[in-house]
């Protein structure tokens, strides 16, 4: 069970990622195998539209492009201007013309397309916002695949795992609330999810059935 904690703090997150933006890609390198497994669960098809929710510096874009091809679309949503600048540079460097970048909190983002898939990769604060999830859910096509991945507490007796999760979380999120089941608000709106957990990291996936 999670200890008592405050909800996510947007202003603190903006400050946190302003500082992290220069080093973010290096910091996340250790989690690349998780990213690959998460994107694989999206089961992307050529021509699909995918929402990269809290896209950061665009680290997932290349994998998403491999799935959707040049006829597909990526919509990256990111509230940190500094992180989105890195994503914009990545898009320009690769010459991708099928990426739309939105600089906005997820709950307020005006999404231009209905999506076939949505990815929440290490976006704990966003996942703890029912309003943010609600905005994404309203823009999903029937049978859209949704995947979330990130940090989660291990078993109470697993001190090594939980020490790792605590240290990583203090560096990357603004609230420890919900770390026992970070996907719970998503499940409330999407229904039952398939969840795998290992070493303080989870991947949760489902198919939108409405």
pLDDT per residue as tens digits for the range 95-119: 999 999 999 999 999 999 899 999 9
* DSSP per-residue letters across 32-83: HHHHHHHHHHT---TT-EEEEET-TTTTTHHHHHHHH-TTSEEEEEES-HHH
| Cα–Cα distance, 54 to 4 (Å, whole number) | 25
| Cα–Cα distance, 80 to 42 (Å, whole number) | 25
Q: To 10 degrees, what angle do helices 32-41 and 61-68 make?
A: 30
pLDDT beyond 50 at 141: yes
Comparing 5 with 8, which gets the higher pLDDT? 8
Task: Categorize the per-residue pLDDT at 5 as very low, low, confident or very high, splitting at 50, 70 and 90.
Answer: low
| Cα–Cα distance, 103 to 105 (Å, whole number) | 7
SS3 at position 17:
helix
Q: For 71-76, what is the mean pLDDT?
A: 98
| Cα–Cα distance, 108 to 38 (Å, whole number) | 25
- In percent, the amount of the chain with pLDDT more than 70 equals 98
| Radius of gyration of the chain measured on its C-alpha atoms | 16
Q: For 167-173, what is the mean pLDDT?
A: 92
Contact (Cβ atoms closer than 8 angstroms) between residue 117 and residue 110: no
**Domains of the chain as residue ranges with CATH:** 10-207 (3.40.50.150)
Q: For 56-69, what is the mean pLDDT?
A: 98
pTM of the model: 0.95
pLDDT beyond 70 at 38: yes
pLDDT score at 6? 81
């Amino acid at each position: 069970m999670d200890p008592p904690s405050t909800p996510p703090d947007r202003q603190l997150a903006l400050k946190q990622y302003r500082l992290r933006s220069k080093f973010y890609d290096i910091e996340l390198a250790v989690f690349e195998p998780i990213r690959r497994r998460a994107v694989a669960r999206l089961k992307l098809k050529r021509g699909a539209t995918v929402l990269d929710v809290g896209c950061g510096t665009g680290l997932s874009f290349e994998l998403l492009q491999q799935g959707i091809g040049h006829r597909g679309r990526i919509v990256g949503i990111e509230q940190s201007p500094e992180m989105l600048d890195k994503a914009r540079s990545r898009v320009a460097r690769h010459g991708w013309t099928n990426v739309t970048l939105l600089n906005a909190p997820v709950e307020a983002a005006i999404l231009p397309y209905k999506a076939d898939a949505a990815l929440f990769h290490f976006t704990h604060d966003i996942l703890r916002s029912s309003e943010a999830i609600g905005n994404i859910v309203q823009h999903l096509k029937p049978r859209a695949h949704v995947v979330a991945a990130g940090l989660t507490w291990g078993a109470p007796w697993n001190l090594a795992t939980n020490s790792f999760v605590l240290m990583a979380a203090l560096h990357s999120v603004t609230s420890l609330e919900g770390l026992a089941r970070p996907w719970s608000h998503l499940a409330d709106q999407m229904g039952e999810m398939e969840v795998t957990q290992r070493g303080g990291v989870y991947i949760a996936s489902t198919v939108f059935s409405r």
